[in-house]
Amino acid sequence: MPPCHDNCPCMEECPLSQAMRLIGGKWKMQILCSLHNNGPTRYNRLKRSLDGVSNTVLAGALRELEADGLVSRREYLEVPVRVEYGITQRCEALLPILDALGDWSMGLADRDAGRNGGGMCE
């Protein structure tokens, strides 16, 4: 097994910590998933697709994802102004990794369900 990146003396910041900073947070993964599945999306439609997110949290997460190059913001000069959010090529490169992480998690859930006699929804 390769060594863990935690406390690497040769690195100023652990690469895994940096990756988690980019995609961590309560709503970032759901935002990326929604934009990937639905394509470029206006703010209000995105908010409706994320049950329970507040305007403050969504706007902040979108700003961070845009600053980190994972989400693009396109403003159309119309009246009223129309803004759409979408995923970037940088995010497209991340998607297979997120899919693999999801597959890994599903495998854990399947294993735990078999050991415990069933999943949480039974």
Q: With 60 as the cut, is the pLDDT of residue 2 above it?
A: no
pLDDT at 57: 97
Contact assessment for residue 72 and residue 56, using Cβ atoms and an 8 Å cutoff: no
pLDDT at 5: 55
DSSP per position, 43-92: HHHHHHHSTT--HHHHHHHHHHHHHTTSEEEEEE--SS-EEEEEE-HHHH
Cα 20 to Cα 68: distance, rounded to the nearest angstrom? 12
50 burial via Cβ count (<10 Å: 0-12, 13-18, 19+): middle
Mean pLDDT of 88-97: 96
**Domain spanning 15-113, CATH architecture:** Orthogonal Bundle (1.10)
- Annotated domain spans of the chain: 15-113
| Chain mean pLDDT for the chain | 85
Cα 65 to Cα 71: distance, rounded to the nearest angstrom? 5
Write the CA distances from 64 to 15, 60, 68, 70, integer angstroms. Answer: 18, 6, 6, 9
pLDDT at 114: 67
pTM: 0.77
